């Protein structure tokens, strides 16, 4: 005879299994909708058996664009790239694990490893002696690119995460970036997080400036809410600080032209923690501080950012 306790145990296991299945199914449905709504804008390259999404437009000296955390290359195609293609061949990548690029194998998520992977993709497109622009987390990747690629002609670092900071990052990145979180918290967030939460996060990136009209609908935030992307993004952010500490010890060797552009009201990557001390370490850095600008000046202060790109090209002898 089956005891009541056994019946309850079986029922509990069945309920948990049913709940997990329902969450996974809802997450999968939302992921399929995101894929359909925001397909690749460029070409899919294969590097070491992994997909890398690359967008290429224009002609002239090569200009590589590397986006920040939680983003994808749509951040650049929204309005910046069309203003550059008359004088640069612009190459924008989805960083590993984000957009339409596959994540790197476990534990291979440092800025240096990401930069090396993207350089191999750039080699497939015959990119030579590029200017490399990085925004936010992408700034750390751009710095790592230049540290290990002597043919890099110039850097443009926009609101770049570049120097060690006090304290820790948001604890949820540690949760979502862990193996346990990938199977617990991440599916729940992917399945149930509303667009209101996403839009609030985007407003926080632009604060105190307004989000450009049409940006939220265009950027493809639902791509970042997919389970694999949520996990990869959080793992990268959670592990960034020790990688920054390690690579910052090498910054003094970078003698190429560097243009730093940073808003003085950026609360995500603060100016006084990152670009100001970085400007004192890099031998050929020029810092442009944008009064009243938040974390996304490549949208809200495009004139100044484009001027920095052109200055970098001129200083590098490319214009």
* 126 occurs within a structural domain: yes
Question: What span, in angstroms and rounded, lies between the C-alpha atoms of 9 and 212?
Answer: 53
Residue 7 lies in a domain: no
* Strands 154-158 and 258-263, bridge-based pairing: parallel
Q: For CA atoms 184, 190, 192, 194, give the dihedral sign.
A: positive
Cβ atoms of 115 and 148 within 8 Å: the answer is yes
31 falls within a domain: no
SS3 assignment, position 9: helix
Share of residues in the chain with pLDDT > 90 (%): 87
Q: Residue 232, Cβ neighbours under 10 Å: how many?
A: 24
pLDDT at 197: 85
Q: What is the mean pLDDT of the chain?
A: 93
pLDDT tens digits, one per residue of 259-301 = 999 999 999 999 999 999 999 999 999 999 999 999 999 999 9
User: Are 270 and 294 in contact, with CB atoms under 8 Å apart?
Assistant: no
The answer to whether position 113 is within a domain reads: yes
CA-closest candidate to residue 144, choices 47, 77, 236, 263:
236
Q: What are the Cα distances from residue 32, in Å, to 25, 77, 108, 191, 222?
A: 11, 23, 27, 12, 10
Does residue 173 fall inside a structural domain?
yes
Question: 238 in helix, strand or coil?
Answer: helix
Structural domain total, the chain: 1
Do the domain assignments include residue 255?
yes
Q: Kindly report, residue by residue over 32-68, the tens digit of the pLDDT.
A: 999 999 999 999 999 999 999 999 999 999 999 999 9
pTM of the full predicted structure? Answer: 0.93
- Within-domain flag for 53: yes
Distance CA 167, CA 181 (A): 22
Residue 109 to residue 107: CA distance in whole angstroms: 6
Of the given ranges (10-24, 52-66, 82-96, 303-317), which has the lowest mean pLDDT? 10-24
Q: Which domain holds residue 202?
A: 38-315
CA distance 145 to 143: 5
Among the listed residues 50, 48, 69, the one whose alpha carbon sits nearest the alpha carbon of residue 111: 69
CATH number, domain of 261, equals 3.40.50.1820
Asked whether residue 292 is domain-assigned, the answer is yes
pLDDT digits (tens, 9 = 90+) for 192-202: 988 888 899 99
CB atoms within 10 A of CB 194: 8
Do residues 39 and 68 touch, judged by C-beta distance below 8 A? no
């Amino acid at each position: 005879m089956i005891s009541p306790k056994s019946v309850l145990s079986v029922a509990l296991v069945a309920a948990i299994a049913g709940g997990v299945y329902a969450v996974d199914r809802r997450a999968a449905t939302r992921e399929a909708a995101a894929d359909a709504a925001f397909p690749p804008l460029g070409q899919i390259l294969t590097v070491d058996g992994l997909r890398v999404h690359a967008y290429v437009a224009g002609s002239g000296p090569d200009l590589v664009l590397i986006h920040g955390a939680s983003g994808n290359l749509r951040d650049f195609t929204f309005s910046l790239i069309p203003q550059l293609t008359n004088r640069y061949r612009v190459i924008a990548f989805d960083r590993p694990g984000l957009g339409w690029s596959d994540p790197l194998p476990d534990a291979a998520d440092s800025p240096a490893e990401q930069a090396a992977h993207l350089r191999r993709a750039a080699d497939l497109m015959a990119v030579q002696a590029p200017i490399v622009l990085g925004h936010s987390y992408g700034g750390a990747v751009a710095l790592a690119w230049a540290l290990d690629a002597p043919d890099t002609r110039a850097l443009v670092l926009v609101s770049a995460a570049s120097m060690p900071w006090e304290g820790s990052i948001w604890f949820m990145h540690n949760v979502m970036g862990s193996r346990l979180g990938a199977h617990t918290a991440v599916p729940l967030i992917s399945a149930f997080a509303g667009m209101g939460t996403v839009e609030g996060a985007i407003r926080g990136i632009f604060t105190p400036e307004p989000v450009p009209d049409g940006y939220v609908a265009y950027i493809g935030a639902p791509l970042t809410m997919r389970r694999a992307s949520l996990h990869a993004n959080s793992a990268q952010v959670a592990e960034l600080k020790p990688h920054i500490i390690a690579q910052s010890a090498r910054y003094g060797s970078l003698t190429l032209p560097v243009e730093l552009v940073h808003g003085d009201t950026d609360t995500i990557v603060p100016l006084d923690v990152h670009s100001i001390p970085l400007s004192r370490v890099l031998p050929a850095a020029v810092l442009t501080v944008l009064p009243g600008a938040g974390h996304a000046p490549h949208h809200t202060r495009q004139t100044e950012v484009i001027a920095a790109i052109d200055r970098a090209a001129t200083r590098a002898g490319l214009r």
